[in-house]
Amino acid sequence: MKVLVVGNGGREHALVWKLVQSPRRPQVFCAPGNAGIETLAACVPVNANDLAALKTFAQREGIELTVVGPEAPLALGIVDEFRRAKLKIFGPTKQAARLEASKIFSKAIMAQAHIRTARSQAFDKPADALAYLENHELPVVIKADGLAQGKGVLIALTREEARRAIVDSMEHAIFGEAGKQVLIEEFLEGEELTIMAFTDGRSVAPMLPAQDHKRVGDADTGLNTGGMGAYCPAPLGTPALRAQVTKEILQPIVDAMSRLGSPFQGVLYAGLMVVGGVPYVLEFNARLGDPETQVVLPLLKTDLLDVMEAVVEHRLDQLRVEWHDEHAVCVVMTSAGYPGPYQSGMRITGLDAPFEDAAVVFHAGTAKRNNDIVTAGGRVLGVTGRGGTLAEAQAVAYRTAERIAFTGCHYRRDIAHRALVTR
Ligand SMILES: Nc1ncnc2c1ncn2[C@@H]1O[C@H](COP(=O)(O)OP(=O)(O)O)[C@@H](O)[C@H]1O
Ligand SMILES: [Mg+2]
């Protein structure tokens, strides 16, 4: 069976890594892939947003299942395009992907489905937003409506900061069209948790709960990033909480999308704030999280290919999705300067050392130069360790990371500490 994975980050490396382990021995392609993915799959030099070229490739190669990693091609309508061409594809349609691509749409559906989320108000006129802001308690959260590469949310501690965010987004259009409308949202204080789920538009199979680390520095200091590491399962996501999230959040949203005539198929990602034990939705994403995927997929026991096929063929209710009783920790290694400006092209050493069986190194931003592998992004590698306990998994990840080096390499030393220290 021929499978195509679309994307080029750590998430896609983890997807490819998991798919090639299928006993069904699929032949895996990746567009465009990276230097790590290349060792497992045939990389095709087609950009993830070039829908026409991806479709042509899938047709020519006889691809039987396409799996989409990132949000951009989903929001562009890759699933609609492939389906029109009678190609099987895992992911939501453009309409369904609005759950991620429009935070205002997402809030409206949550209201319809009576899902707990931070109170908010949507605005398309800056004057109205600024007027509403005047009586809002602080801190206040300002969110650009559309996709803004993780930069569209500001937690403002002062009204002045909030005003500037509104003007920058709505008038100066620093996020382009994505910020022409904004949400002004109540600030929730609690602990964040990610619960992703497979869904075929009717049934929901929740994955294990994960927690990522957004800030660049230890103890959650410094700038926000795409994610500096993650661990799974997060103890905060007890089986009871996971059941509650499935019943009160995931299933109702999936049902609401179906009622709307835009059934959601693929991976639904719920970004939650747990406030005094009660889960509130911060946002939905329409795909797997990065780096959460690098800790969740290694713990999946059921064949991922079987799960994805069941989703695409709308028979997820006939499959039991099972998980290993283990832990995983992923430490992200980044280029110096990230998330600000950084240099690429640094030679990476230590990658061909034989690692422990419980370790796996996912490439996020790498490229090949002659016989070397060099850095080619802000997030360069995701080093995942597995173990019988969280502490063991963490030790494997750090032992492995220590053997890898490149000029300016940075990583946090405290991934998973929150779970280890407080519980
Ligand atoms: N209402 C809120 N209260 C407190 N923190 C929030 C709230 N909304 C978002 N955040 C913080 O901002 C981060 C980014 O917001 P999110 O809605 O996930 O948007 P995106 O991931 O698209 O940037 C969250 O992970 C969370 O840390
Ligand atoms: Mg988010």
What ligand has the least distance to the C-alpha of 107?
A: 1
Q: Check pocket membership of 275 for ligand 1, CB cut-off 6 A.
A: no
Most ligand 1 atoms within 8 A of CB, residue of 117, 282, 288, 292 to mutate: 282
Q: What is the CATH number of the domain that holds 384?
A: 3.90.600.10
118 lines ligand 1 (CB under 6 A): yes
Residue 399 lies in a domain: yes
**How far apart, in whole angstroms, are the C-alpha atoms of residue 129 and residue 122?**
8
Does residue 185 sit within a domain? no
Tens of pLDDT, residues 171-192: 999 999 999 999 999 999 999 9
- Over the stretch 92-145, which tens digit does the pLDDT of each residue have? 999 999 999 999 999 999 999 999 999 999 999 999 999 999 999 999 999 999
Q: What total number of domains does the chain contain?
A: 4
Given 285, 318, 351, the domain boundary residue is: 318
Spatial neighbors of 313 by CB under 8 A, at least 6 apart, are 200
Q: Which of 257, 289, 318 is the endpoint of a domain? A: 318
One domain, residues 340 and 394: yes
Helix and strand tally (H, E) in the chain? 14, 22
Co-location of 71 and 139 in the same domain: no
Q: Which domain holds residue 10?
A: 2-94
Q: DSSP 3-state helix, strand, coil percentages of the chain (rounded to 5)?
A: 35, 30, 40
Q: Which of 100, 153, 272, when mutated, tests ligand 1's pocket best, judged by the most ligand atoms within 8 Å of its CB?
A: 153
In tens, the pLDDT along 21-62 reads 999 999 999 999 999 999 999 999 999 999 999 999 999 999
Which residue has the CA at smallest separation from atom 10 of ligand 1? 282
> Whose Cα sits closest to atom 20 in ligand 1?
150
- Give the C-alpha separation, 68 to 12, whole Å: 9
Is 20 within a domain? yes
Residue 239 domain flag:
yes
28 shares its domain with 72: yes
CB 203 within 8 A of CB 268: no
Domain identity same for 268 and 296: yes
Residue 344 and residue 225 in one domain: no
Ligand 1 center to residue 29 CA distance, Å?
34
Residue 99 included in any domain: no
Same domain, yes or no, for 199 and 277?
A: yes
Give pLDDT tens digits along the chain (423 positions).
Answer: 999 999 999 999 999 999 999 999 999 999 999 999 999 999 999 999 999 999 999 999 999 999 999 999 999 999 999 999 999 999 999 999 999 999 999 999 999 999 999 999 999 999 999 999 999 999 999 999 999 988 999 999 999 999 999 999 999 999 999 999 999 999 999 999 999 999 999 999 999 999 999 999 999 999 999 999 999 999 999 999 999 999 999 999 999 999 999 999 999 999 999 999 999 999 999 999 999 999 999 999 999 999 999 999 999 999 999 999 999 999 999 999 999 999 999 999 999 989 999 999 999 999 999 999 999 999 999 999 999 999 999 999 999 999 999 999 999 999 999 888 754
Contact criterion met (CB below 8 Å) for 408 and 365: no
**48 domain-assigned:** yes
One domain, residues 355 and 312: no
Q: Is 187 in the pocket of ligand 1 (CB under 6 A)?
A: yes
The CATH number that applies at residue 137 is 3.30.1490.20
CA of residue 139 to ligand 1 center, whole Å: 13
Please check whether residues 213 and 302 belong to one and the same domain: yes
Q: Is residue 110 part of a domain?
A: no
Q: Tell me, in angstroms, the distance from the centre of ligand 1 to residue 272's CA.
A: 9
Domain membership flag for residue 115: no
Question: Ligand 2 centroid vs 226 CA: distance in angstroms?
Answer: 9
CA–CA distance, 263 with 257 (Å, rounded to integer): 5
Asked if 282 and 188 touch (Cβ cutoff 8 Å), the reply is: yes
Looking up residue 67, the CATH number of its domain turns out to be: 3.40.50.20
Find out whether the beta carbon of 192 lies less than 6 Å from any atom of ligand 1: yes
If you take atom 23 of ligand 1, which residue's CA is the nearest one? 150
Judge if 40 and 66 occupy the same domain. Answer: yes
CATH code, domain with 215: 3.30.470.20
69 and 34 co-located in one domain: yes
Q: Do residues 171 and 209 share a domain?
A: no
* 226 & 157 share domain: no
